Structure 1
Amino acid sequence: MALPKIIVLGAGLGGTIAAYEIRDAVKGKAEVMVVNDADDYWFVPSNPWVAVKWREPDAIRVHLPPVMAKKGIGFTSVGAKRVHPGENRIELNDGTSLAYDYLVIATGPDLAFDEVEGLGPQGFTSSVCRTDHAADAADVFERLAKDPKPVVIGAAQGASCYGPAYEFAMIVDTELKRRKIRDRVPITFITAEPYIGHLGLDGVGDTKGLLESTMRDRYIKWITNARIAKVEDGLMHVEEVNEDGSVKAVHDLPFGFSMILPAFRGVPAVYGIEGLTNPRGFILADKHQRNPTFPNVFSLGVCVAIPPVGKTPVPVGVPKTGFMIESMVTAIAANLKLILAGKEPTEEATWNAVCLADFGDGGVAFVAQPQIPPRNLNWSSEGKWVHLAKIGFEKYFLHKIRRGTSEPFYEKLALHALGIRKLRFK
């Protein structure tokens, strides 16, 4: 009798560790297979370093097929064209299909550059959302270094990932100082957030004060409640919005280099499937990470639908941090084990957050329990230790992916950051 088949769709941070952890949880009870659109895993948190050539792309790459084979996990990089949840089937890009008994969607987002005219690598701004984008950004940055001009960095309306924008602004500031050309490069930070340090989470600890102070110290000007109207070659048109949504001011910002994080939406393979996604294409999930319409479909990570923490003048999404994603993975693995044993799922993700925002020569760290306020723990700190911790984090996590281990990591990181050993994030 054939074993039930569990397919993990996507092999980014969430999908890769999900495959490992699910395999360990259901070993001998089900087959596990990963469907991805490429053979390689890229450590996305290091992309800001790639964009200033502090890292080469290959240094943060893991070739997945041999790791998956060693773990006894099936793998294909053909990619998914469309999910058909009513048929328990994934249509692949080569025209073939894969049947599943259980599906775990971990696709990450589709990058909605096209929603703003001129935005993105196909337009006039750079990106650190993907490692190939960051590598291309490094070439643009080198041209800037040879011919210094203003820089504009930030996050567009509807974005739900702000940490990398802050990181990159500070990293660029640090690198320009090292090259002794910072005095010739004005930097402006633009963001849809209602205030600096909001982060899509209504702040964590004193992120507002810490980030504002850091940006003042580095002489980085900022515009909040910002909506990008259009980007032209070397010129960005930005509307600064009042609390009531009316336009407060219009800014025409010249630039020689710009990195803007876009809004996210669901990937084409799932976008618009009734009962599976919300209007934006994100996967609907209950407290057990299970879709209410298709109970054999689970989801985790950036592709999961989470409502914003509150109304803002310019749309601001909620980030899905690594700690939250790891807790979703653990809950799904435990629930699949229960289901295969004939029981109902009971496990819930903790949805806590821990973040290390590296600034090149320092940084800000925060821990939120839970990620969505109000919280039981709301902590932030700054210092050179954050930069060193981020380097250690990169080394450890790449080692984890290369080994194929399902050992949880983010809770340990949070505890070390806090200097606490007995606290459990439950």
Structure 2
Amino acid sequence: MAEVVVIGAGLGGTLMAYELLPQLRKDDRLTVVSQGAVYHFVPSNPWVAIGWRKQSDIEIDLVDIMKRKGIRLLTQGAQRVHPSESRIELGDGTSINYDYLVIATGPELAFDEIPGLGPQGFTQSVCHVDHAIHAKEAFDKLAANPGPVVIGAVQGASCFGPAYEFLFILETELRRRKLRDRVPMTFVTSEPYIGHLGLDGVGDTKGLLESEMREKHVKWITNARVKGVEQGKMSVEELNEDGSVHKIRELPFAYSMMLPAFRGVGAVRGIDKLANPRGFVIVDKNQRNPAFPNVFAVGVCVAIAPVGATPVPVGVPKTGFMIESMVTATALNIGALLRGRPALAEPTWNAICLADFGDSGVAFVAQPQIPPRNVNWSSKGEWVHYAKVAFEKYFLRKIRRGTSEPFYERFVLDQLNMAKVKGTKEEVKTGT
């Protein structure tokens, strides 16, 4: 009998548990360790933040689902991993041992690295549903008393898509409320150019996103380093290509949503040979840690080198399909090891993404994610918005049913091939 443990019950961890089950032998046991028992669909957070979704619309209680599937769910969270002992110290002081471990914790949000950043400071976030609820309260105040808006992603951020999504979703809602003319909007990003996305662009994302911003009267600042945030004011350094300071800006705002940098969670951060200096888990081409071969990692917690040097630090995103490919490879590898075979499966690490802009959107395909690529394509249109709505419903249904087969690539590529979503004309819940 083998003890297989997954830490995390977000997108990566939940899918990891579902795909591991068919790979286990009859007497093996699977345990998921999470902070609480509720899964929430992170890509819907921008909709929650302006009231197009309620928190209950995007949350699923995992207790009954995991029990039905025969998975042990421990909700006290992981305090510390001890890889040399194959042991996990849990949040309540108890410990569990493992034969194989999959780390799927996602990141820790590094708001504290910039004074005044985050929901405990003066800016909003859509990284967690609780943050999105707080952002909705702040948005209601903006709607009652319109003023300048600053949206973007700070230095070290590695997830830029939600910043662009929220920018345009917010812009769409302001237009629908006839308030857009009273709200100047500025996009502030650490990217070297608009549409870089931590990937050095995909297809013509630079042109598509710049065009969208010009059309929507959104100003932008790239190579931006946020120095600090005060009530109603953000201090930003705009850097030259050589890293020197080109201009210092003081940006007033009535509302701001800025994505933070990520780092590894406390349970793994600082563990020599398991995590890098930033706390992300080191893995080889099979998602396996080289120093501790019974430890695997998937998702945002995985260490990936940047695509190239930039004046301001920019991380590499881990998109949904990329994570799913990591999950599938890891499940196959653990299944092989349990049967005495070598772990040879490798993830594809392709990027396939739908970015909703409220009434349109941008889709892109990068195969592989890191250039040079075999496929390097992007497009925009109203169909992307409907595809994102359909995907949310599709994904939440998968989580509720506990479906194990990979589906992200098939679903998204179907939409790309059709360039529309047939039979899916139910609008996002806007109240209009």
TM-score band, normalised by shorter chain: over 0.9
The secondary structure found in structure 2 opposite 1:419 is helix
Structure 2: gaps spanning 5 or more residues = 419-432
Answer whether contact 1:81 1:91 (CA < 8 A) is retained. yes
**Which residue number in structure 1 is paired with residue 413 of structure 2?**
415
Greater shift in the superposed pair: 138-147 or 410-419: 410-419
Residue 176 of structure 2: which of 175, 178, 192 is its match?
A: 178
**Cα distance per residue 1:363-393 (max 9 Å; x no partner):** 0000111111110001111000000000000
**Cα distance per residue 1:28-53 (max 9 Å; x no partner):** 15211100011100000000000000
CA distance in 1: counterparts of 2:262 and 2:27, whole angstroms: 36
Aligned length: 418
Residue 151 of structure 2: which of 153, 156, 160 is its match?
A: 153
CA distance in 1: counterparts of 2:56 and 2:200, whole angstroms: 36
Residue 65 of structure 1: which of 63, 66, 76 is its match?
A: 63
**Which residue number in structure 2 is paired with residue 423 of structure 1?**
none
Residue 261 of structure 2: which of 260, 263, 283 is its match?
A: 263
**Which residue number in structure 2 is paired with residue 365 of structure 1?**
363
**Which residue number in structure 1 is paired with residue 290 of structure 2?**
292
**Which residue number in structure 1 is paired with residue 352 of structure 2?**
354
**Which residue number in structure 2 is paired with residue 54 of structure 1?**
52
Answer whether contact 1:189 1:223 (CA < 8 A) is retained. yes
Q: Tell me if 1:77 matches 2:71.
A: no
**Cα distance per residue 1:386-417 (max 9 Å; x no partner):** 00000000000000001011121121134213
After TM superposition, list the pairs within 5 Å mapping 1:370-385 onto structure 2.
370-385=368-383
The secondary structure found in structure 2 opposite 1:314 is coil
**Which residue number in structure 1 is paired with residue 214 of structure 2?**
216
**Which residue number in structure 2 is paired with residue 86 of structure 1?**
84
CA distance in 2: counterparts of 1:376 and 1:418, whole angstroms: 17
Answer whether contact 1:29 1:340 (CA < 8 A) is retained. no
TM-score normalised to structure 1 length: 0.97
Answer whether contact 1:367 1:414 (CA < 8 A) is retained. no
**Which residue number in structure 2 is paired with residue 24 of structure 1?**
22
CA distance in 2: counterparts of 1:15 and 1:112, whole angstroms: 21
AA aligned to 2:411 is L
Answer whether contact 1:158 1:262 (CA < 8 A) is retained. yes
| Shift in CA distance, 377/29, structure 1 to aligned 2, threshold 3 Å | farther
Q: CA deviation at 1:418?
A: 3.4
Residue 226 of structure 1: which of 218, 224, 227 is its match?
A: 224
**Which residue number in structure 1 is paired with residue 423 of structure 2?**
none
The secondary structure found in structure 2 opposite 1:8 is strand
Answer whether contact 1:112 1:262 (CA < 8 A) is retained. yes
**Which residue number in structure 2 is paired with residue 235 of structure 1?**
233
AA aligned to 2:82 is H
Answer whether contact 1:117 1:229 (CA < 8 A) is retained. yes
CA distance in 2: counterparts of 1:351 and 1:271, whole angstroms: 24
**Which residue number in structure 2 is paired with residue 278 of structure 1?**
276
Cα RMSD after superposing both structures:
0.8
Q: CA deviation at 1:27?
A: 4.4
Identity over aligned residues, as a percent? Answer: 66
CA distance in 1: counterparts of 2:49 and 2:346, whole angstroms: 37
TM-score normalised to structure 2 length: 0.96
The secondary structure found in structure 2 opposite 1:391 is helix
The secondary structure found in structure 1 opposite 2:112 is helix
AA aligned to 2:370 is I
CA distance in 2: counterparts of 1:349 and 1:30, whole angstroms: 24
Residue 194 of structure 2: which of 196, 210, 232 is its match?
A: 196
**Which residue number in structure 1 is paired with residue 160 of structure 2?**
162
CA distance in 2: counterparts of 1:415 and 1:130, whole angstroms: 27
Residue 397 of structure 1: which of 395, 398, 408 is its match?
A: 395
CA distance in 2: counterparts of 1:359 and 1:55, whole angstroms: 15
The secondary structure found in structure 2 opposite 1:23 is helix
After TM superposition, list the pairs within 5 Å mapping 1:37-52 onto structure 2.
37-52=35-50
The secondary structure found in structure 1 opposite 2:331 is helix
**Which residue number in structure 1 is paired with residue 322 of structure 2?**
324
The secondary structure found in structure 1 opposite 2:379 is strand
AA aligned to 1:179 is R
Answer whether contact 1:11 1:107 (CA < 8 A) is retained. yes
CA distance in 1: counterparts of 2:415 and 2:70, whole angstroms: 35
Answer whether contact 1:204 1:379 (CA < 8 A) is retained. yes
Structure 1: gaps spanning 5 or more residues = 421-426
**Which residue number in structure 2 is paired with residue 5 of structure 1?**
3
**Cα distance per residue 1:97-119 (max 9 Å; x no partner):** 01111000000000000000000
| Shift in CA distance, 215/149, structure 1 to aligned 2, threshold 3 Å | same
Task: Point out 4+ residue stretches in structure 1 off by more than 6 angstroms.
Answer: none
